[in-house]
Structure 1
Amino acid sequence: MIKYRIIKRPLVTEKTVLLKEEANQFAFEVDRAANRIEIRNAVEKIFKVKVASVKTIQVKGKTKQKGRIIGKRKDWKKAIVRLLPGERIEFFEGA
């Protein structure tokens, strides 16, 4: 897989900002077919950092209803990447 297709977008929420500050971990939305090794390689190549570990989570899409119309948001995959001590991603420093 191409590295830019594996990492779809960074997740910047209150919880992920706390993870960044306390544990040097960063969260990304990733391709559902990507495995941990592909995610690790993509993060290391895109951001030029060393990755200590990768955790992945399959997030189920919520069912939403507006009146009688019922819809569903898409399922997606989240990756939490822990960097080695001393490494940081400059992209997140402004957040």
Structure 2
Amino acid sequence: MNTERIYQVLQGPRISEKAAYSADLNNQFVFKVAVTATKLEIKKAVEKLFNVKVSEVRTLNVNGKVKRNKFGLSKKADWKKAYVRLEQGHEIDFAAAE
């Protein structure tokens, strides 16, 4: 997998209370990923970018919300979220990532 595709697959971490709790309890991190990304691509991208071993990847599609504006109703874009569980002893430090 080339470097350009890695940055297309991983669009950024999702920071929330649920993600922080999951990271502390299960050594699991949450990322916003491309809608076309597969579990294998996500696993390879995380392993290459952060130099860690991934044990499991779970994905889910998030439907965009319907919002009201002055032109009527509009729909936000759908997106994909990935829960990435790391092997025991591995940790991701977002501040030190390249």
- On whether the aligned pair clears a TM of 0.5, the verdict is yes
Pairing 1:41–2:10 present: no
Which residue, out of 47, 54, 60, partners 2:57? Answer: 54
Match of 1:32 in 2: 35
Say which SS state the counterpart of residue 71 (structure 1) adopts. Answer: strand
Separation (CA, whole Å) in 1 of partners of 2:50 and 2:76:
30
- Which residue of the partner structure matches residue 72 of structure 1? 75
| Unaligned runs of at least 5 residues, structure 1 | none
State the AA in 2 paired with 1:30: V
| Equivalent position SS for 2:94 | helix
* Number of residue pairs the alignment of both structures matches: 93
Alignment TM-score, normalising by the size of structure 2: 0.89
Please report the RMSD computed on the Cα atoms of aligned residues, expressed in angstroms.
1.6
Q: Taking every aligned residue pair, what percent have the same amino acid on both sides?
A: 42
**What are the residue-to-residue correspondences of 1:7-26 with 2, within 5 Å?**
7-26=10-29
Unaligned runs of 5+ in 2: none
Cα deviation for residue 48 of structure 1 reads 0.4
Using structure 1 for the length normalisation, give the TM-score: 0.92
